[in-house]
Chain A
Amino acid sequence: MKPVAVTGLGVVSPFGAGVKAYWEGISGGVSAIRPITLIDTEGFRCRIGAEVPDSLGGSARRSRADRFALAAAREALDDAGIGRADRADTALIVGAVGGGMLEAEAWYWQRARGVASPMPRALASCFPSAHADVVGSVLGLGGPRETVVTACSSGAASLAMAADLVRDGVVPVALAGGIDALTRICFMGFNTLKLLDPTPCRPFDRERRGMSIGEGAAFVVLEDVERARARDARVYAELTGHGMSTDAFHVTSPHPEGEGMVRAIRAALTQAGIPPAAVGYANAHGTATPQNDRIEARALREVFGEGGLLVSSTKSMIGHTMAAAGTLEAVATVLALDHELIPPTARLEQTDPDIPFDCVPRVAREVAVEHAISNSFGFGGQNVTLVFRRSA
Chain B
Amino acid sequence: MSGRRVAITGAGVVDGHASAVLGRLLDETEARRLSRVCQMTVAAGRLALADAGLSGSTELALLVGTEFGDMVSTIRFVDDYLERGIPGLSALLFPHTVMNTMAATTAIAVAAKDLSLTLNVPTVAGELAIARGAAAVRAGRIDACLAGGADEPPRLVLDAFREAGAGADVRGEGAGFVVLESFDAARARGARILGEIVGEAWRALAVRPHGVGRVARSRAITAALAGAGAEPAQIGLVYTSASGDGPREAWERALVDGALAPHRPPQRSLSLPAGRHSGLAARSVATAAAEAGEGLALVHAVARGGNQIAIVVAGSEARAA
Show the binding face of A for B, using Cβ within 8 Å.
Answer: 43-44, 92, 96-97, 105, 108-109, 112, 118-119, 121, 123-130, 132-134, 136-137, 140-151, 157, 161, 164, 168, 170, 184-186, 188-193, 244-252, 260, 263, 378-382
Contacts and interface: CB of A to CB of B under 8 A. Distances in A.
Contact of B139 (A108, A134, A168): A168
A379 B98 contact: yes
Contacts of A263: 58, 113
* Top 6 A-B pairs, shortest CB-CB distance: A380-B104, A189-B94, A124-B164, A123-B160, A244-B115, A145-B204
Given A128-B99, A263-B113, A251 B139 contact: no
A144 B204 contact: yes
Interface of B: 56, 58, 62, 67-69, 74, 77-79, 81-82, 85-86, 89-91, 94-95, 97-101, 103-105, 107-108, 111-122, 128, 132, 135-136, 139, 141, 156-157, 159-161, 163-164, 166, 201-210, 219, 305-307
Contact of A379 (B89, B100, B112): B100
Contacts, number: 191
Contacts of B208: 137
B205 A142 contact: yes
A378 B100 contact: yes
Q: Is the interface of B mostly helix, strand, loop or mixed?
A: mixed
B89 A381 contact: no
A39 to B, nearest CB: 12
Contacts of A247: 107, 113
B126 to A, nearest CB: 13
B86 to A, nearest CB: 5
Given A112-B82, A248-B111, A251-B108, 16 more contacts: A97-B98, A124-B157, A124-B161, A144-B204, A145-B307, A148-B119, A149-B100, A164-B136, A170-B201, A188-B86, A189-B77, A189-B91, A189-B97, A191-B89, A246-B107, A380-B98
B112 A246 contact: yes
A142 B105 CA distance: 34
B77 A380 contact: no
Given A123-B157, A146-B128, A248-B113, A43 B86 contact: yes
Nearest to A66: B209
Contacts of B104: 251, 379-382
Given A119-B159, A121-B164, A150-B100, A105 B107 contact: no
A263 B113 CA distance: 10
B113 A193 contact: no
Contacts of B91: 189, 192-193
A148 B113 contact: no
Most buried by A among B69, B139, B205, B307: B307
B90 A192 contact: yes
Given A125-B209, A136-B204, A381-B107, A185 B74 contact: yes
B75 to A, nearest CB: 8
Contacts of A112: 79, 82
Contacts of B159: 119
B100 A382 contact: yes
Nearest to B38: A251
Contacts of A132: 121
11 contacts: A132-B121, A137-B208, A144-B204, A145-B202, A149-B69, A164-B139, A188-B89, A193-B94, A246-B112, A246-B114, A379-B104
Contacts of A147: 119-121
B164 A123 contact: yes
A77 to B, nearest CB: 15
B94 A133 contact: no
B160 A119 contact: yes
B95 A141 contact: no
A33 to B, nearest CB: 22
B157 to A, nearest CB: 7
B90 to A, nearest CB: 7
Contacts of A136: 204, 306
B107 A380 contact: yes
B233 to A, nearest CB: 25
Given A119-B163, A145-B306, A146-B121, A137 B207 contact: yes
Nearest to A168: B139
B209 A134 contact: yes
A251 B209 contact: no
Given A43-B85, A124-B210, A249-B108, A143 B203 contact: yes
A338 to B, nearest CB: 28
Nearest to B97: A185
B139 to A, nearest CB: 6
Contacts of A97: 98-99
Contacts of A140: 206
Contacts of B103: 380
Contact of A246 (B115, B120, B164): B115
A186 B89 CA distance: 12
A43 B89 CA distance: 13
B116 to A, nearest CB: 4
B295 to A, nearest CB: 26
A132 B209 CA distance: 9
A161 B133 CA distance: 12
Nearest to B205: A142
A127 B62 contact: no
Contacts of A170: 135, 201
Contact of B119 (A43, A142, A146): A146
A141 B103 CA distance: 28
A250 B108 contact: yes
B306 A133 contact: yes
A44 B86 CA distance: 8
Contacts of B135: 164, 168, 170
A92 B77 CA distance: 32
A132 B122 CA distance: 11
B118 A148 contact: yes
A246 B62 CA distance: 9
B95 A157 contact: no
